[in-house]
Amino acid sequence: MDNPTSAPIIKVMAKLDTDILIVGGGLNGPSLALACAQAGLSSIVVDALPEITRTEPDFDGRAYALALASVRMLDALGVWDGVADHAQPMLEIKASDGRAGEGAAPFFLHFDHAEIEEGPMGHMLEDRYLRRALMTAMAHAPQITHRPGARVVSQGPGSVTLHNGETLHGRLLIGADGRRSGVAERAGIKRTGWGYDQTALVCAVDHERPHNGIAHQFFMPGGPLAILPLPGNRSSIVWSETEPRASELAAADDDTFLAALRPAFGDFLGQITLTGNRHSYPLGLSLAQSFIADRLALVGDAAHGVHPIAGQGLNLGLRDVGALAETLADAKRRGEDIAAPDVLARYQQWRRFDTAGLAVATDTVNRLFSNDNSALRALRDLGMGVVGALPGLRRGFIREAAGLTGDLPRLMQGRPL
Ligand SMILES: Cc1cc2nc3c(=O)[nH]c(=O)nc-3n(C[C@H](O)[C@H](O)[C@H](O)COP(=O)(O)OP(=O)(O)OC[C@H]3O[C@@H](n4cnc5c(N)ncnc54)[C@H](O)[C@@H]3O)c2cc1C
């Protein structure tokens, strides 16, 4: 018998500060907090960086190709209205094999949104608008406490200790702390992955001619060059190059950089000029071997960092957010502990297969296309020709790019949580 004196058992439990403790106030962490708020779950979002740093317009030079399903979710979270004016609909995607100065190969893929009923495949949106809109939405949600400038240094099940010694307690701890996730590492979750020996050089250019909402991807020997439409006569460039060439280009002045970019870019948009700063991001694959642990779950890049070749990293993260929020909301409705092992297992089962599949697909496409081997070049040109000639297959790719395939969370179907 546990209590022979039959005196009342006093279990000392830490007072809970919140339902969900989220480490990482990047893009996926705030999205999860907003989604969970809709289910009546409170959260604290902790980020090591001060808010002023993260809201500086030049903090992150990326622009995201947000799939239609992600746009629906941002709309359901009340974020889309604040950024819609800065977003550019993506109407078509053209992908072709290329070599600097040679232009595109005769076979190319062409995906047109007109082949599906749902509308544009997605929207391009610059990080600076999305990040700020997420922070504004958090500030207006009474269920969310944002703790910027607070670095997590240690953790226990459902709790974290900050650099100033303060400890926070929640029912569930979320790692939304990016591809080098300290939350995952401290929980003993191992990662699978490798570097690509490639760096993405990111910038924006103004051009003379309109892009007409068309996104271009040229598969160059050093890596893909993506030209992605932004509002007006502007495009976002993601140029993946192998090292050490990438470092040379990153260190070069703007004129030297543009002189190297122009032959790869071609002249189909007329003269190009740089606008804003250039940024570089080393590329690699990093997959957590488990997305869950004791009272803990991972979302976004903390769970899976993939090659940007398909522009899917954030879209995958937002799917995690939709799936986890839905799993937790359903658990709450049923009166379950939101951090119970079987609840978290449902989330992992939903998301792990999908992300591992996409990680393998992006890895394979990058390896197949980022080289100058003539046999592989012939094979991939043939492959593109075949896909392009089969309307059913082509529509499948378009629906995939729009994020409409697979087991979609309710928020991504435009339904309430
Ligand atoms: C060149 C490039 C282009 C891309 N283009 C696209 C695209 O077109 N479409 C798309 O869907 N995806 C794209 N991606 C992927 C996308 O950028 C990422 O998936 C996304 O930014 C990940 O967001 P996150 O919130 O998971 O992580 P992060 O943005 O990395 O945020 C992690 C946060 O955690 C905080 N943090 C870390 N450690 C601690 C700690 N100890 N204590 C407190 N806070 C901590 C950090 O300060 C940071 O703010 C691209 C990626 C690259 C590199």
pLDDT digits (tens, 9 = 90+) for 94-117: 888 776 555 555 557 788 888 888
Pocket test for ligand 1, best of 45, 54, 62, 131 (most atoms within 8 A of CB): 62
pTM of the full structure: 0.93
CA 350 to ligand 1 center in whole angstroms? 21
Q: Is 26 in the pocket of ligand 1 (CB under 6 A)?
A: yes
User: Residue 271 is part of a domain; what is its CATH number?
Assistant: 3.50.50.60
Nearest atom (ligand 1) to Cα of 65: 8
Q: In this predicted model, what pLDDT tens digit does every residue of 287-343 receive, in sequence order?
A: 999 999 999 999 999 999 998 888 899 999 999 999 999 999 999 999 999 999 999
Give 260's pLDDT tier (boundaries 50, 70, 90). very high
Please choose, from the candidates 259, 256, 239, the residue with its C-alpha nearest in 3D space to the C-alpha of residue 199. Answer: 239
The pLDDT assigned to 52 comes to 92
Q: Residue 171 sits in which domain range? A: 18-413
Q: Is 28 in the pocket of ligand 1 (CB under 6 A)?
A: yes
The pLDDT assigned to 9 comes to 45
CA-nearest residue, atom 52 of ligand 1: 308
When pLDDT is averaged across residues 349-365 and rounded to a whole number, the result is 85
CA-nearest residue, atom 22 of ligand 1: 301
Q: Is 409 in the pocket of ligand 1 (CB under 6 A)?
A: no
Pocket test for ligand 1, best of 21, 27, 230 (most atoms within 8 A of CB): 27
Task: Report the amino acid identity of residue 300.
Answer: G
Model confidence at 11: pLDDT above 70: no
Please choose, from the candidates 178, 174, 138, the residue with its C-alpha nearest in 3D space to the C-alpha of residue 34. Answer: 138
| Token couple for 305 | 């960092």
Q: Which helix H or strand E contains 137, and what residues bound it?
A: helix 127-139
CA 352 to ligand 1 center in whole angstroms? 18
When pLDDT is averaged across residues 45-64 and rounded to a whole number, the result is 94
Q: How many Å apart are CA 123 and CA 89, to the nearest integer?
A: 4
Q: How many Å apart are CA 200 and CA 217, to the nearest integer?
A: 14
Pocket test for ligand 1, best of 177, 228, 298 (most atoms within 8 A of CB): 177
In a domain, 8, yes or no: no
Model confidence at 32: pLDDT above 90: yes
Q: Is 237 in the pocket of ligand 1 (CB under 6 A)?
A: no
In a domain, 10, yes or no: no
Please choose, from the candidates 345, 321, 352, the residue with its C-alpha nearest in 3D space to the C-alpha of residue 331. Answer: 345
In a domain, 171, yes or no: yes
In a domain, 173, yes or no: yes
The pLDDT assigned to 40 comes to 97
In a domain, 9, yes or no: no
139 Cβ contact partners less than 8 Å away, ≥ 6 residues apart: 146
CA 191 to ligand 1 center in whole angstroms? 17
Strand pairing report for 92-99 and 122-126: unpaired
Cβ pair 35, 417 in contact under 8 A: yes
Q: Name the domain count of the chain.
A: 1
Give 236's pLDDT tier (boundaries 50, 70, 90). very high
Model confidence at 8: pLDDT above 60: no
CA 256 to ligand 1 center in whole angstroms? 29
The pLDDT assigned to 411 comes to 97
Cβ pair 107, 385 in contact under 8 A: yes
In a domain, 5, yes or no: no
Cβ pair 123, 90 in contact under 8 A: yes
CA 308 to ligand 1 center in whole angstroms? 12
Model confidence at 218: pLDDT above 50: yes
CA 171 to ligand 1 center in whole angstroms? 24
The pLDDT assigned to 2 comes to 40
The pLDDT assigned to 373 comes to 73
Q: In this predicted model, what pLDDT tens digit does every residue of 67-82 receive, in sequence order?
A: 999 999 999 999 999 9
Q: How many Å apart are CA 135 and CA 145, to the nearest integer?
A: 11
Q: How many Å apart are CA 286 and CA 288, to the nearest integer?
A: 7
Residue owning tokens 């993946």: 240
Q: Is 246 in the pocket of ligand 1 (CB under 6 A)?
A: no
Segment among 139-148, 194-203, 353-362 with least mean pLDDT: 353-362
When pLDDT is averaged across residues 115-143 and rounded to a whole number, the result is 94
Q: Is 64 in the pocket of ligand 1 (CB under 6 A)?
A: yes
The pLDDT assigned to 7 comes to 46
Please choose, from the candidates 325, 320, 322, 372, the residue with its C-alpha nearest in 3D space to the C-alpha of residue 348. Answer: 320
The pLDDT assigned to 80 comes to 97
The pLDDT assigned to 364 comes to 81
Nearest atom (ligand 1) to Cα of 300: 26
Q: Report the percent of the chain where pLDDT is more than 70.
A: 92
CA 27 to ligand 1 center in whole angstroms? 7
The pLDDT assigned to 31 comes to 98
